[in-house]
Amino acid sequence: MVGATWTDETALARVADELSLEVIAEVLDGGSSARVYRARRSDGSEVAVKVLVEQPGVVDGHDLSSFQGKLTQIERIRAHAPALAARYTPVLDSLDGDGWAAHTTLWYDSVDAAACLRDGAGEDRDGVGTFFGQFMAILAGLFVDGYGAGSSPTPAGHLLTVNVGRFLRRFGMLERALPAELVARDELVVNGVPCRSPRALLAQIVAGDGPQVGHMAPPRLMFCAHGDANTRNLLVGAPVDGAVDFQIIDPRGSCDPWDPVYDLAKILFSLSVWDPALRLGFTVQAGRRRGPGSYDVGFRRSTYDGYRAAIHGFLPFLDDHPGIAALLGGDEHWRDRLLLTHDMHVLAEAPCRLSDPKPKFDCLGEPSSPQQLSIGHYLLGTLLVNDLVQQLSTTGTIDADRHLGLLTGDLPVG
């Protein structure tokens, strides 16, 4: 295809031809901009095929460079953290062309790590006991064996640049794609709560004019074991000899030292907003005041009871995990940093949703557009960051149950 423009379909056809694959079906249960397919090789074995065609204007992490960097990161994990590497789904083939790349991995019969919270497990009706049993194994494999494989000093300004600044760097995408009456307003009312624009609040924090967060910075960074550990990148298979079997996919695509709390916050974010949004969809309505800048936002259907319970049990579980206590020893502000990072994940996901044009259908088959998903994340992130700033300004710390209760309480639903 010299001189031609690649599409997802033509790149997939090229991969299938070169590797003699029979494409079975597209896998839509994902959150990245890559297209994922289940395919069969000529020997009868099945693989997952991931294809990414370069597109202009996507956020960092959804770009072609990050996609190709995943393979480099996995190789580094194999060299420096072999116990963790055994948990990564092996990459079989890697191909690339002018503006596209693809790779294949063995097909792993599995469910995402949060599936038990939706479906329950035997007498464990809400699945919480099962979830934390699985999570115990994931913490040992990904965090203790992975992040614990190395450490280095934290650069000055890391927290503000990486955790807070990420949303500010991506804000231009929201300005270009979302209604001006939403993103250009300095004041909003979200679910009845008066809020300031998150851009204004975060810009103040970065400038040093808001509540101080520098003390929350990690005292050290660690080996980059993943970097995007949402629950759909943590796959749980059938038990092996009674033990939890899990595999890991789709790391961040970076080998830079990283903060394990960033990934712990990503798991919490998966349960609180990201995964429910994709499975249930958002509803956004003019707020109770019916005035400009007033919105009610929630999920189309009530979220899963198991998710609610796991959200509030998340920090206490980490507190009681001996491996996490050892990993984060001397990091006295990790709980507040986890909540801050969780809120930044919610906000930063708003532009991410605009970078993923794949069809998204909720559990009843109703579609969600990238704009709908983006607006929902933006509004809930606005609500969260305002509460976070208010708590830090008055007490200097964050009440986790009160803060997360903004998401697990009676969110308006359609």
pLDDT digits (tens, 9 = 90+) for 363-379: 999 999 999 999 999 99
In three-state secondary structure terms, 93 is strand
What's this model's pTM, rounded to 2 decimal places?
Answer: 0.96
Q: Is residue 145 part of a domain?
A: no
Q: Work out whether strand 111-112 and strand 100-106 pair parallel, antiparallel, or are unpaired.
A: unpaired
Q: Is the pLDDT of residue 2 over 80?
A: no
Q: Is residue 82 part of a domain?
A: yes
Instruction: Enumerate residues 6+ apart whose C-beta is below 8 A from 187.
Output: 194, 195, 196, 197, 293
Q: How confident is the model at residue 412 (pLDDT cuts 50, 70, 90)?
A: low
> Which residue segment(s) compose the domain that 37 sits in?
8-106
For residues 165 and 296, membership in a common domain is answered with yes
Query: Mean pLDDT of all residues in the chain?
Result: 94
Q: Is residue 283 part of a domain?
A: yes
Q: Mean pLDDT, to the nearest integer, of 270-280?
A: 97
Q: Is residue 111 part of a domain?
A: no
Q: Is the pLDDT of residue 182 over 90?
A: yes
Q: Mean pLDDT, to the nearest integer, of 73-96?
A: 96
Nearest to 279 by CA among 174, 183, 361: 361
Q: Is residue 66 part of a domain?
A: yes
Taking only the tens place, the pLDDT of each residue in 211-261 is 989 999 999 999 999 999 999 999 999 999 999 999 999 999 999 999 999
DSSP state of 231: G
Q: What is the number of structural domains in the chain? A: 2
Taking only the tens place, the pLDDT of each residue in 341-367 is 999 999 999 999 999 988 799 999 999
Q: Is residue 360 part of a domain?
A: yes
For residues 96 and 38, membership in a common domain is answered with yes
Q: Is residue 391 part of a domain?
A: yes
For residues 383 and 313, membership in a common domain is answered with yes
For residues 202 and 350, membership in a common domain is answered with yes
Q: Mean pLDDT, to the nearest integer, of 8-20?
A: 97
Taking only the tens place, the pLDDT of each residue in 285-332 is 987 666 789 999 999 999 999 999 999 999 999 999 999 999 999 999
User: What is the domain-level CATH number for residue 44?
Assistant: 3.30.200.20
For residues 172 and 75, membership in a common domain is answered with no
For residues 366 and 302, membership in a common domain is answered with yes
Q: Is the pLDDT of residue 93 over 90?
A: yes
